[in-house]
């Protein structure tokens, strides 16, 4: 295999890589950047070997049966990282991922293994363009709904698909991928600016070399994740997420990640911090035109951190592999206050996420209200119930769902689907039909970070476990009050008890890994993970 006896005595560093030919987010981690990292590690006295793990893409399988595997993939990836590190007795590793579930999965594995670790995330994809308008992946789904409605011809629809994703990298909006890449940087695993750099750029390649150098420093100093990740570190991720309108999937990933090191982040943590930290930066879908390109030019993650430090809204002493949060802020500059506001002049006085309670989500339910129109932050309407996203999606394409309805999509939770797929495609159809301010969705499924409109997810307990969402009937009046954090339906406790007497859960097929996940996962309230001791 080309390894000399002399080199075999060097510390072995695993380059744990999610590269594959299916996924544009992980495609940047090619042989060129791997060799650059190997060279740096060798110069520093180590020997780097590449080890592959799964690198899935949520966008490829949205609104297909495959989407049931995306959230369970997070736990599977964490197991792969744990396995390759322990089985091969690695002395350090650089983990590489970009997309929604793979970044938190790798970090979960790194927390458990607890060896010197740095991370390189893949950078953002360039925004697409067609007829002078900005495009991203989500526009293709909205365009499909418009095409089916007869408001767009086939040539325009196909052109939007063709030009929406022009380069490798993370989808260039504040979706789950960019939220998770920010998490990796704020926790201290990735180089300064990695979460807001263009994929495959010169700066990105420099960051790859920096990650490689730093892991060797950590090996020599025996610096491990447990030496710098604290409760403050994890709360800082939530603070950043609120300031930037990050993905609701964070309410699954950050609690699950915290649990690996016996810290506690709950949905209530998010809601408490949401009331403390204002929203100071919005890019798509929270802003109609700004993407990661504008965010990067404005100063990116570092500029947001700088504003939060100046506003006393983040813990500056939280440490990491590349320095403290305060040191990160000192390196940054806010170059555009239209894109990144100050804490004293925010876009909204509260962060972008609210946790709702009531007799629908008796444990919790989640809404990304930074993507909700002001006129829709309170909403009342009759329930229209579906036991799968497919049913609801076909119904809206056939105009069976009308303005004023509160659509209930259930049995799409961690156990019910199983796998808790995105309800993004349904909401894309809603937006494509111009109904974003005119109807609401309540679901025990989850959403892409790019979802816009009044979309409430993560309802816990889920329908499969007998939560009240399973017992709602068509026509029941639902009340949504985001400012008051309320999600209720006009059904008494006694009536719910009566309905439950004749209730049986909807059973959906699950084989192999999906069945194993279904039998062992927690609720969305606890991260929807099999790793919750």
Buried b (16+ CB within 10 A) or exposed e, 363-383: bbbbbbbbbbeeebbebebeb
Asked if 332 contacts 362 with a C-beta cutoff of 8 angstroms, the reply is no
226: DSSP letter: H
Q: Classify residue 8 as exposed, middle or buried by CB count within 10 Å of its CB (0-12, 13-18, 19+).
A: exposed
Q: Is 190 a catalytic residue?
A: no
Strands (E) in 412-516, as ranges, are 440-443, 455-460, 477-481, 486-489
DSSP codes of every residue in 357-393: BSSSSSSEEEEEGGGS-GGGSEEEEEEEEESSHHHHH
Task: Report the C-alpha gap between 418 and 378 in whole angstroms.
Answer: 31
Give the separation between CA 490 and CA 356, rounded to whole angstroms.
16
Catalytic residue among 348, 448, 460, 523: 448
353: helix, strand or coil: strand
Query: Do the Cβ atoms of 267 and 251 come closer than 8 Å?
Result: yes
Contact (Cβ atoms closer than 8 angstroms) between residue 235 and residue 273:
yes
Which H or E run includes 356? strand 353-356
Whole-number Å distance between alpha carbons of 323 and 316: 10
Pull the structure tokens for residue 69. 């595997």
Catalytic residues: 448
């Amino acid at each position: 295999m080309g390894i000399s006896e002399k080199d075999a005595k060097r510390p072995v560093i695993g380059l744990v890589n999610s590269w594959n030919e299916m996924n544009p987010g992980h495609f940047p981690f090619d042989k060129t950047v791997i060799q650059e990292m190997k060279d740096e590690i060798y110069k520093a006295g180590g020997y780097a070997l590449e080890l592959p793990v799964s690198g899935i893409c949520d966008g490829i399988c949205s609104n297909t049966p495959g989407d049931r595997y995306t959230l369970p993939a997070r736990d599977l990836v964490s197991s792969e990282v744990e396995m390759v590190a322990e089985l091969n007795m690695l002395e350090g590793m650089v983990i590489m991922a970009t997309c929604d579930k793979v970044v938190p999965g790798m970090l979960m594995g790194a927390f458990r293994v607890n060896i010197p670790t740095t991370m390189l995330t893949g950078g953002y994809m360039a925004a697409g363009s067609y007829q002078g308008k900005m495009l991203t992946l989500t526009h293709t789904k909205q365009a499909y709904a418009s095409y089916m409605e007869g408001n767009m011809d086939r040539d325009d629809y196909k052109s939007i698909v063709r030009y929406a994703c022009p380069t490798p990298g993370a989808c260039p909006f504040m979706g789950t991928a960019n939220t998770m890449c920010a998490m990796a940087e704020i926790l201290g695993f990735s180089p300064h600016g990695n979460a807001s750099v263009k994929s495959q750029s010169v700066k990105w390649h420099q960051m790859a070399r920096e990650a490689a150098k730093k892991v060797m420093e950590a090996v020599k100093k025996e610096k491990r994740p447990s030496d710098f990740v604290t409760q403050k570190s994890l709360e800082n991720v939530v603070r950043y997420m609120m300031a930037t309108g990050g993905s609701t999937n964070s309410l699954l990933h950050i609690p699950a990640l915290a649990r690996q090191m016996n810290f506690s982040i709950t949905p209530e943590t998010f809601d408490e911090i949401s009331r403390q930290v204002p929203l100071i930066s919005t890019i798509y879908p929270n802003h109609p035109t700004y993407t990661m390109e504008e965010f990067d030019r404005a100063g990116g993650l570092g500029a947001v951190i700088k504003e939060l430090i100046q506003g006393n809204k983040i813990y500056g002493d939280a440490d990491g592999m590349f320095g403290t949060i305060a040191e990160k802020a000192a390196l940054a500059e806010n170059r555009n206050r239209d894109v990144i506001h100050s804490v004293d002049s925010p876009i909204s006085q509260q962060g972008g996420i609210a946790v709702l309670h009531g007799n629908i989500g008796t444990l919790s339910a989640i809404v990304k209200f930074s993507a909700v129109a002001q006129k829709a932050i309170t909403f009342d309407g009759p329930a229209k119930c579906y036991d799968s996203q497919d049913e609801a999606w076909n119904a809206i394409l056939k105009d069976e769902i009308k303005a004023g309805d509160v659509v209930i999509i259930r049995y799409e939770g961690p156990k019910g689907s199983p796998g808790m797929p995105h309800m993004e495609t349904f909401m894309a159809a809603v937006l494509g039909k111009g109904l974003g301010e005119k109807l609401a969705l309540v679901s025990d499924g989850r959403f892409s970070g790019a979802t816009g409109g009044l979309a409430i997810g993560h309802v816990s307990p889920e329908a499969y476990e007998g939560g009240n969402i399973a017992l709602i009937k068509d026509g029941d009046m639902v009340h949504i009050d985001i400012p008051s954090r309320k999600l209720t339906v006009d059904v008494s406790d006694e009536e719910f008890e009566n309905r439950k007497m004749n209730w049986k859960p909807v059973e959906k097929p699950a084989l192999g890994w999906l069945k194993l996940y279904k039998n062992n996962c927690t609720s969305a309230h606890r991260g929807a993970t099999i790793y919750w001791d």
